[in-house]
Each structure stands twice: as structure tokens, then as C-alpha cells.
Chains A and B, each alone.
Chain A
Amino acid sequence: MAFRSAVVTFPGSNCDRDMAVALEKVSGSAPLRVWHGDAELPDALDFIALPGGFSYGDYLRSGAMAARSPIMQAVVGAANRGVPVLGVCNGFQVLTESGLLPGALMRNAGQAFVCRTVALTVATSQSLFTAGYEAGQTIRVPVAHHDGNYFADEATLDRLEAEGRVAFRYAEEVNGSQRRIAGVLNEAGNVLGMMPHPERAIEPELGGSDGRALFESAVQALVSA
């Protein structure tokens, strides 16, 4: 069965092609490309990716404008029906702004744009995105962001941890994120937002392949469903 995925492009997205290449290399099927102004998604999608970048120039707040674009209503609807949705970097910001994920991504505590490969700890293997990792495993994935400082109130953070919804943590100080959270899942586990870029780490030629298992996990979850 072909893996039917879609990558959404907003004005100012700049990792949409990388995301499409990663999905095609891992799944064997080229993703469909969707524009922010589209009102509908293609039918019967197995996976939706919101890529990194600087949608709408980060106007107002990072991800704020993109979260109100026409396609996002369709993405929210698909997510609520259980379609897996991955948001990376700006895609994570769009997911929090759209309400699909709790919390917010604020300016890095050090105020500087951080662009380097960082160590992450896999916090749970109990999700369709992280099943290919071991809980507690350390992986190395690039980050490139100015607004990656994850914030949520204490009650929300406690709930995320209690419910196993923290997917990844920074193994080192990166941006001031509460409890070093690098990626979170929604309640149903089918929506993942993360600041690090797994699509930039899918083969040794890119400097690392630790991100590949995330895409393999998602493809495997479909095949075995």
C-alpha cells in the first residue's frame, strides 16, 4: 500500500522540500504538495507534514498567521479524525497557535538564533512517531530556530509528563524550554510538534541519520494498521 502523505507550504516555508524528500526517501512515495490557500486536503491522507520556515515572515507571532490560513481548518479537521500530523520547527509553532498542541514557543532565552546539531533524549517510544526509538535513547538532530523556547503553565507541563506526551527533550541547554521539552504529542498521540529537524537527518550524507527512524515509525504504523 502506497504511503499517501502531504506537505503543506505556507508563504515563507523553507523546509518543505527537505520534508518532501525525506518522506519520499523513507516511504517510497512522493508526498502531495498543498498550498496554504487551499481550502481542502487531498482525500485519504496517511500523513500530513507542516514544515519549518518563517511563514508570513513570523508576523505577529511565529506561526500565528499560518495557523489561521484556509488549509489549517482542514488540517485541524484531519488531525481530529486521527490522521497523523507532524509539525517541525515553524510547523510546531503553527500547531501550538492552532490549538492542536498545548503551550507556546517563545523567543530563545539566550535571544540568539540557534543553528547547530543538538543531542535529544527520546522521552517515549509509545507513539507512532517514536516507536522506532528506545525510550531514553540519545539522538543527534539539527535545530535552527529563534523562537523555540517551549512554554506552558506548570499544570499543563505536569499533565504532559504524566500522560507520556513529551516526545523529545534536549539533552543539553538549547533555548530555555520549560523542562527542556523539544517535542510534544497531542492527547490522542497522532499529532507531534518538535523544534529539531528530523528531515535534515535522514542519511549520513546529510551529517546524520538519527531522524530517519521517526519517518520509518510513521510508515510502519500505517503498514501494520
Chain B
Amino acid sequence: MKVRIHVSLKPGVLDPQGRAVHHALEGLGFSGIADVRVGRLIELDVADGTSDADLEAMCRQLLANQVIENFRIEKLETA
């Protein structure tokens, strides 16, 4: 089963990387960009039947730092 873990900075947490990308996009001539936030996409290939609880535990224990980040689990295929 393929699973995508979307990790993003919590709202309100300053994202220097997103700000730099924002400035770079404007430097390329793109206008009308209100904000840019850079996150992380982690693709897992796990055994079919891996429980939601286990996937959430993986996110909480390692993949996301919940002090600063939120995560969202997206399952691409089911058994």
C-alpha cells in the first residue's frame, strides 16, 4: 500500500524558506502571490493492512514534529 504523508508548518509558524521562495517567484516576474509555505512530502510503501493507528504513530513519533508541524495521511491504494 502506498501512502503519502504531507507535512506542513503550522499556521503562524514563520517559514523563512517559504519567504525566500516567495521573493524568488516575484523576482521571476510572477505577481499576485499572497504567501508561500514549503512543506515536505514523504512517500511510504507499507504492508497492506497497516493500520491507521500505526501510520499516525509513525507521523507522531518521527515524521512530523508536532511542535511546529501538522501532518496529513493520504492512502493511494488499498488492499
Contacts and interface: CB of A to CB of B under 8 A. Distances in A.
Interface stretch (A36-44, A104-112, A126-134, A185-193): A104-112
Given A60-B62, A64-B62, A68-B62, A111 B16 contact: yes
A64 B65 contact: yes
Q: Which of A60, A97, A102 has the most CB of B within 10 A?
A: A60
Interface residues of B, number: 12
Nearest to B38: A107
Interface string B46-79: 0000000000000001110101100000000000
Contacts of A68: 61-62
B67 A152 contact: yes
B20 to A, nearest CB: 6
B7 to A, nearest CB: 9
B35 to A, nearest CB: 16
Interface in A79-110: 96-97, 102-104, 106-110
Contacts of A108: 16
A151 B17 contact: no
Interface string B25-53: 00000000000000000000000000000
Contacts of B20: 111
Tell me the dominant secondary structure on chain B's binding face: helix
A164 interface: no
B14 to A, nearest CB: 7
A107 B18 CA distance: 11
17 contacts: A60-B63, A61-B65, A64-B62, A68-B62, A96-B67, A97-B65, A103-B67, A104-B67, A104-B68, A107-B17, A111-B17, A111-B19, A149-B14, A151-B13, A152-B67, A176-B14, A176-B16
Given A104-B67, A106-B14, 5 more contacts: A61-B65, A103-B67, A106-B16, A109-B14, A111-B20
Interface of B: 13-14, 16-17, 19-20, 61-63, 65, 67-68
Interface of A: 60-61, 64, 68, 96-97, 102-104, 106-111, 149, 151-153, 176
